[in-house]
Chains A and B, each alone.
Chain A
Amino acid sequence: MYRYDQYDQALVNERVAQYRDQTQRFLAGQLPDDEFRALRLRNGLYIQRFAPMLRVSVPYGLLSAQQLRMLAHIARKYDKGYGHFTTRQNIQYNWPKLEEVPDILADLASVEMHAIQTSGNCIRNVTSDHLAGVAKDELVDPRPYCEITRQWATFHPEFNWLPRKFKIAFSATTTDRAAIRVHDIGIQIVRNEKGELGYQVYVGGGLGRTPIIGPLVREFLPEADLLSYCEAVLRVYNRLGRRDNMYKARIKILVKETGVAKFTEMVEAEWVHIKDGDLKLQPQDIARMKSHFTEFSYDKNAAADTTYADRLREDSAFASWAKRNLKEHRQPGYSIAFVSLKAPGVAPGDITAEQLDAVAELADQYSFGEIRSTHEQNLVLADVRQQDLYAVWLRLRELGLATPNIGLLTDLICCPGLDFCSLANAGSIGVAQDIFDIFENLDYQHDIGEIKIKMSGCMNGCGHHTVGHIGILGVDKKGEEWYQVTLGGSAENDASLGDRTGPSIARADIAGAVEKIVDVYLENRESEEESFLKTYRRIGMQPFKERIYNTAAATEVAV
């Protein structure tokens, strides 16, 4: 993984000092509230419903065991003993004290971490495929490009006061696991017909109040031009993005109101001036970054192991975990193991200090000391020998991190909701729990198959509800929590926005409505191979609508 050099370390240390000074001036009454607010946001610190919330950056979801232990330490020392992984691969703490945040940042800096630009109207954490570097369907490892982009975006002097937040995501695979088309800039690494490496660039996707699937603005951008093109997009946005209404300030609105063709023309016109300037990547820049992401020295005899097959035969619980929570590695004899943060009774994405420490231990022992966080709020041990899988599973099971539900219904993603967030209209964690209760039976979940439920407590859409196969959005109706349901959304290559089923549904009925939706799917699917999304796209909304709202003919109901 990328390790800091003296420059990175100096910058992060200087940032801690800068923020400590800002905090002191604020506490001394020398910095107005609203200005400190804007500054602390750029260090990931929100003031939430009960306490400040600190969001720590996990660049493209990659962590070392040492970093994970520090996250555990912070949870214990400054928080209530746990943290929460987010849909942008970061981790949040819900109970830090404002006065202690500079100390937390100093602790983070000691393990090459920070909270820079995890919030505020600036360029946010760069995200990518959580299987980068081990995925079978990968063209190249996207992480060197992510790191190049991260460095360019960090403290970019021109783009720290944008109209609104700005998110960049990379994918280099045929299956998009980074949801690039719902990002402000989505970059797909590709080869052109001449075999040259480059990028397809999508601009102006996003969720929130006005969900939009990002349009393609450049079919092929040469490899060396990554940063100059991003700079051109950002400059057009900084100059022309709307600042009169925060709900219309994202770049997606600028692209939409300007028109994709005209917007592209403006970006290209800007880019012509800077494409051959200082931002052009030189081959040694890329080579240097790639040298940080070289392949591990894998055990060449890993596939010779026979104990794994024995364990699968002997232990059905292990077999069921292996079936759901392991993904194929490109190295023979290795597997990618998912650590499920979706267990009954736990808020999706939550993890305790003890669990963090234990996962760090597993990573050190069995997975080259690295861990990934996913945008679906789980963790991944990406490089486990098959002979070690049983030991990993036993330990994960002890820790409550082995629910065999990856990709299944209860692997749902959700924002902190009304329980923690000051923006939320409605709870989401409680609804997640109700859904867990109904679909408790794992065999039943396996039978239902791949289905993505995504839930947000308000229309800002942190839980990505608009691209959930089933999306659930909390709304406030005269002080009561209600939920709007959408069907048919997707954040993958076939990206689409969900369609609303109809009127919103009361808190008491929402989990039941999900059950009805699943029933309609099971009754209508042509075979087990037809996923929920495919069935929905084939049969449409009507059968679901009728069941949810009981509007089918009375005779049918009587049957």
Chain B
Amino acid sequence: MSALIRNREIVANDLVLLDDEAALPTSGKAVVSLARWQQHSSELRSASAEIGVRLPNTVDVATIWAEIQDRQLIVIDFPGFADGRAYSQARLLRDRYGFQGDIVATGGAVVRDQINNMHRSGINAFLLRADQDPQVCLSAFNDFSRAYQKAADSRMEIVREIRRSNHL
């Protein structure tokens, strides 16, 4: 089972990513595919476990937001190290739709060298790739002290800081 970092802390991995055929657990946090969610949403909404939805990285968030907006857990997918499509999904979920729940990254790109950008794009939880050392991954959040551009994290953006200091 992969290690999980949530809100910059290593925590016990309490997420179960379910195959479409797998039975629902009775408690905890279970994640189903978007397709399964779309087919069985009313049934899944009444499940006793907390149900999250896993989005394929090809889906346009705008077209499915209405169906998932009551969820507290959305998993987005980075199938390969260099496939950055889900970065834009994360930005849209946070910036455009104001999603407040957990956005969890999973897949081959969830590694030390990408966590900083993922965090800045609005992802707050990381299902680390199996070969990753969670302690080493934690240091990724400190790679950069500031940022040039406003993104989905709370980092002080340079332009804003300069504007503010010029007003003083």
A residues contacting B by CB (< 8 A) are: 5, 7, 10-11, 14-15, 18, 22, 31, 34-35, 38-39, 121, 151-152, 154-162, 227, 235, 238-239, 243, 273-274, 277-279, 282, 284-285, 288
Q: Which residues of B contact A155 (CB under 8 A)?
A: 117, 144, 147-148
Q: Contacts A284-B163, A284-B166; is A11 near B144 (CB within 8 Å)?
A: yes
Q: Which residues of B contact A18 (CB under 8 A)?
A: 143-144
Of B88, B120, B147, which is within 8 A of A238 by CB? B88
The docked-state distance in angstroms from the alpha carbon of A22 to that of B140 is 11
B81 touches A38 (CB 8 A): yes
Q: Contacts A7-B146, A121-B82, A161-B109; is A235 near B161 (CB within 8 Å)?
A: no
A39 touches B113 (CB 8 A): yes
The docked-state distance in angstroms from the alpha carbon of A121 to that of B83 is 10
Q: Contacts A151-B158, A284-B166; is A161 near B84 (CB within 8 Å)?
A: yes
Tell yes or no: B99 within 8 A of A by CB.
Answer: no
The docked-state distance in angstroms from the alpha carbon of A160 to that of B151 is 13
Q: Which residues of B contact A273 (CB under 8 A)?
A: 96
Tell yes or no: B87 within 8 A of A by CB.
Answer: yes
| Per-residue contact bits, chain B 35-66, to A (CB 8 Å; 1 contact, 0 not) | 00000000000000000000000001000000
Q: Contacts A14-B143, A238-B87, A239-B60; is A38 near B82 (CB within 8 Å)?
A: yes
Nearest A residue to B155 via CB reads A157
Which residue, B83, B113, B147, B166, has most C-beta atoms of chain A within 10 A? B113
Q: Which residues of A contact B82 (CB under 8 A)?
A: 38, 121, 161
15 inter-chain pairs at a CB distance below 8 angstroms, sorted by A residue, are A7-B146, A10-B145, A14-B145, A22-B113, A35-B81, A35-B111, A38-B81, A155-B117, A156-B149, A157-B117, A158-B121, A158-B151, A160-B87, A239-B89, A285-B163
> Besides the contacts A5-B162, A35-B111, what 11 more A-B pairs have beta carbons closer than 8 Å?
A11-B146, A18-B144, A31-B113, A35-B113, A38-B81, A151-B149, A155-B148, A157-B87, A159-B87, A238-B88, A274-B95
Tell yes or no: B29 within 8 A of A by CB.
Answer: no
Interface residues of B in 149-166 (CB under 8 A from A): 149-151, 157-163, 166
B109 touches A158 (CB 8 A): no
Q: Contacts A162-B84, A235-B88, A238-B88; is A152 near B148 (CB within 8 Å)?
A: yes
The docked-state distance in angstroms from the alpha carbon of A160 to that of B119 is 13
Q: Which residues of A contact B89 (CB under 8 A)?
A: 239
Q: Which residues of A contact B118 (CB under 8 A)?
A: 157
The docked-state distance in angstroms from the alpha carbon of A31 to that of B74 is 29
Query: How far does the Cβ of B41 sit from chain A's closest Cβ, in whole Å?
Result: 24
Q: Which residues of A contact B144 (CB under 8 A)?
A: 11, 14-15, 18, 155
Q: Which residues of A contact B81 (CB under 8 A)?
A: 34-35, 38
Query: How far does the Cβ of A158 sit from chain B's closest Cβ, in whole Å?
Result: 5
Of A157, A238, A285, which is within 8 A of B151 by CB? A157
B146 touches A243 (CB 8 A): no
Which residue, A7, A14, A273, has most C-beta atoms of chain B within 10 A? A7
A288 touches B162 (CB 8 A): yes
Q: Which residues of B contact A35 (CB under 8 A)?
A: 81, 111, 113
Q: Which residues of A contact B148 (CB under 8 A)?
A: 11, 151-152, 154-156
Q: Which residues of A contact B85 (CB under 8 A)?
A: 238-239, 243
3 A-B pairs with the lowest CB-CB distances in the bound complex, closest first: A161-B84, A157-B120, A278-B150
Query: How far does the Cβ of A100 sit from chain B's closest Cβ, in whole Å?
Result: 21
Q: Which residues of B contact A239 (CB under 8 A)?
A: 60, 85, 88-89
Q: Which residues of B contact A154 (CB under 8 A)?
A: 148
Interface residues of B in 125-146 (CB under 8 A from A): 143-146
The docked-state distance in angstroms from the alpha carbon of A447 to that of B93 is 63
The docked-state distance in angstroms from the alpha carbon of A239 to that of B162 is 32
Of A31, A279, A282, A288, which is within 8 A of B150 by CB? A279
The docked-state distance in angstroms from the alpha carbon of A239 to that of B76 is 13
The docked-state distance in angstroms from the alpha carbon of A243 to that of B88 is 15
Interface residues of B in 79-106 (CB under 8 A from A): 81-85, 87-89, 91, 95-96
The docked-state distance in angstroms from the alpha carbon of A239 to that of B59 is 9
Q: Which residues of B contact A284 (CB under 8 A)?
A: 163, 166
Q: Which residues of B contact A121 (CB under 8 A)?
A: 82
Q: Contacts A10-B145, A239-B60, A285-B159; is A158 near B83 (CB within 8 Å)?
A: no
The docked-state distance in angstroms from the alpha carbon of A18 to that of B163 is 28
Query: How far does the Cβ of A483 sit from chain B's closest Cβ, in whole Å?
Result: 33
Nearest B residue to A36 via CB reads B113
Nearest A residue to B108 via CB reads A35
Query: How far does the Cβ of A34 sit from chain B's closest Cβ, in whole Å?
Result: 7
Nearest B residue to A22 via CB reads B113
The docked-state distance in angstroms from the alpha carbon of A235 to that of B151 is 13
Q: Which residues of A contact B117 (CB under 8 A)?
A: 155, 157-158, 160
Q: Which residues of B contact A243 (CB under 8 A)?
A: 83, 85
Query: How far does the Cβ of B57 sit from chain A's closest Cβ, in whole Å?
Result: 9
Of A7, A34, A157, A277, which is within 8 A of B121 by CB? A157
B147 touches A160 (CB 8 A): no
Query: How far does the Cβ of A76 sit from chain B's closest Cβ, in whole Å?
Result: 31
Q: Which residues of B contact A162 (CB under 8 A)?
A: 84
The docked-state distance in angstroms from the alpha carbon of A285 to that of B166 is 11
Which residue, B149, B162, B166, has most C-beta atoms of chain A within 10 A? B149
Of B88, B111, B146, B149, which is within 8 A of A152 by CB? B149
Query: How far does the Cβ of A10 sit from chain B's closest Cβ, in whole Å?
Result: 6
